[in-house]
Amino acid sequence: MADKVEKTFKFVIVGGGIAGVTCVEQLSSQIPSAEVALITAGPHIKAVTNYKQVSKMLEEFDVEERPASVLEEKFPNLTVIHSAVKSLHTQSHSVETADGRIFGYEKLCICSGGRPKLLTQENPYVLGIRDTDSAQEFQKRLSKAKRIVVVGNGGIALELVYEVEGCEVIWAVKDKAIGNTFFDAGAAQFLIPSLEAEKPERAAPCKRPRYTTEEPAAGASHTFTADRNMQGRSSGPTEPGSALGPDWHEGIALHGAEQVSRRVSVEYQCEVEKIFTSEELLNSQQQTLRPENVGSWPVYIQLTNGKTFGCDFIVSATGVVPNAEPFLYGNNFALADDGGLQVDDHMMTSEPDVYAAGDVCTACWEHSPLWQQMRLWTQARQMGWYAGRCMVADILSEPIELDFCFELFSHITKFFNYKVVLLGKFNGQGLGPDHELLVRCTKGQEYVKVVLSGGRMVGAVLIGETDLEETFENLILNQMDLTPYGEELLNPNVDIEDYFD
Ligand SMILES: Cc1cc2nc3c(=O)[nH]c(=O)nc-3n(C[C@H](O)[C@H](O)[C@H](O)COP(=O)(O)OP(=O)(O)OC[C@H]3O[C@@H](n4cnc5c(N)ncnc54)[C@H](O)[C@@H]3O)c2cc1C
Ligand SMILES: *[C@@H]1O[C@H](CO)[C@@H](O)[C@H](O)[C@H]1NC(C)=O
């Protein structure tokens, strides 16, 4: 095979999402003379903009799609190759792309992200949302829809049900409360009224979801067209783009076919039993449906709670599957239970000279007791950045320690128009029964929850403008014994910052 290698690079990074791009930037700025290749399936790359360090651990940024040429201009020794990696040969240190080219590497970093877990394969009435194209497809289908069913209880489902207007939404969640990945039942209770209220007008101007250029990039195969058929699949080959991120729905109106505002009903503790078409429904002995419903919807969904709903389409928002497959054949990667490539505290996989970062990998080092992996923007950026530094350190035979950002889980986001800050073991993840919760809640204003273990703060959920994030972050990091303060800790009339600063 070696004779067919077109070119060998010092570093090859696969994937133009946040993890891959951050890794490339790190490598190219640390060793400007190194030849770096970014191989990515989609025509655009993701760029972090307006990066802001909110506190020691919390960070906020926007994400923009850009043509890859922007990166190449910034880093002259970087080559962007627009093709998907089809296979990896760890023995010969080379990758083969879908267009039949072979590139060698000294060190490789796989940042191929994930794709939506779909309820069923190849059903035209089941949509997943991952990238700009699938979001646009969703918007288009929604504009003609009267009722949709959203299945899933993570961040994407939460945002969807809040943003969709002019269309009835049936929301099927497998848990007892909404937003189980992020919240406990109390926080869910706090948020539920927002689903019934009118959405406040957005003052902020819409961001452009995608940076567009007149000329398509060489080798690009961006196939979204205005008349993509209603079957939900494009006619040409679609390369997977990178995942959307914060504010993905800004700039795309999520409006259904009807003149009503938000209408959401939640079906708790149920999963999907079966999905069928109207013909299939008529042919089966389906008795649970009211007769006037039969035949009037293109698709039907039967839930495990026995209810059946007809709808225009179903959104599958049940999480992501790491995009590891193309790299597995012929190699010996250790895979985690969630299908991710296992990485150690140097972001190294089980194969020599192969690293991984972002949604495709599973952090298998011994975690700090206050950190957990979640497939989020911030972690994709942190892992890409740290992987780049580890690759350089390994090339230079320098030691490197696990970065501080993996000490404490921290995430800042917005749900239902509330600011949401999550710190540490915010849901008591993995804690024994001896942990304690302190909660303070003002309806419509704020929800504050503190998780204590052995008298020390190990996690917090802050919803609303609580202004507590820095203080709590410090209390979690310094693991001070808070037993003497008891419930005073959340007394709104006590300025706790005075206690601790
Ligand atoms: C709708 C939606 C909303 C989200 N909202 C939020 C949010 O509000 N906050 C938050 O923190 N996170 C959010 N996330 C999660 C976040 O987007 C991801 O965690 C993050 O983007 C992961 O980055 P990544 O670089 O690992 O992967 P990706 O962004 O998925 O990038 C993967 C890249 O690899 C390329 N690729 C894939 N396979 C191959 C191959 N075989 N060869 C070459 N290239 C390949 C793809 O084209 C892509 O460029 C959201 C995700 C979705 C889908
Ligand atoms: C690119 O690499 C070459 C040698 O590999 C080096 O001479 C040159 O300075 C590098 N370019 C930049 C901008 O660093």
pLDDT along the chain (501 residues), means of 10: 82 97 98 98 90 92 91 97 97 96 98 90 88 87 94 91 92 92 88 82 41 33 24 41 66 76 90 87 63 74 92 93 96 97 98 98 97 95 98 97 96 93 93 88 93 94 95 94 88 75 59
Residue identifier of the C-alpha nearest atom 14 of ligand 2: 32
Among 281, 305, 283, CA closest to 295: 281
87-128 residue pLDDT tens: 999 999 999 999 999 999 999 999 999 998 888 878 899 999
Task: Kindly identify the ligand whose nearest atom is closest to the C-alpha of 74.
Answer: 2
Task: Kindly identify the ligand whose nearest atom is closest to the C-alpha of 254.
Answer: 1
With vertex at residue 178, the alpha carbon angle to CA 172 and CA 182, rounded to the nearest 5 degrees, is 130
Compute how many other C-beta atoms are within 10 angstroms of the C-beta atom of residue 29: 12
Our mutation pick for probing the ligand 2 site, out of 29, 31, 77, counting the most ligand atoms within 8 A of Cβ, is: 77
Q: How far is the CA of 30 from the centre of ligand 2 (A)?
A: 12
**Cα separation, 313 vs 405, whole angstroms:** 40
Kind of pairing, strands 410-415 and 418-424? Answer: antiparallel
Q: Structure tokens of 114?
A: 């994930």
Q: How far is the CA of 76 from the centre of ligand 2 (A)?
A: 7
Question: For position 267, what pLDDT does the model report?
Answer: 95
Tokens 């993996």 belong to 406
Residue identifier of the C-alpha nearest atom 10 of ligand 2: 33
Question: For position 236, what pLDDT does the model report?
Answer: 37
Pocket of ligand 2 (CB under 6 A): 32-33, 76-77
Residue 381 parent element (H or E): helix 377-395
**Cα separation, 81 vs 75, whole angstroms:** 14
The domains of the chain, with CATH numbers, are: 2-115+321-406 (3.50.50.60), 126-320 (3.50.50.60), 425-499 (3.30.390)
3-state DSSP: the chain helix, strand, coil percent, rounded to 5?
Answer: 25, 30, 45
Residue identifier of the C-alpha nearest atom 33 of ligand 1: 15
Question: For position 295, what pLDDT does the model report?
Answer: 65
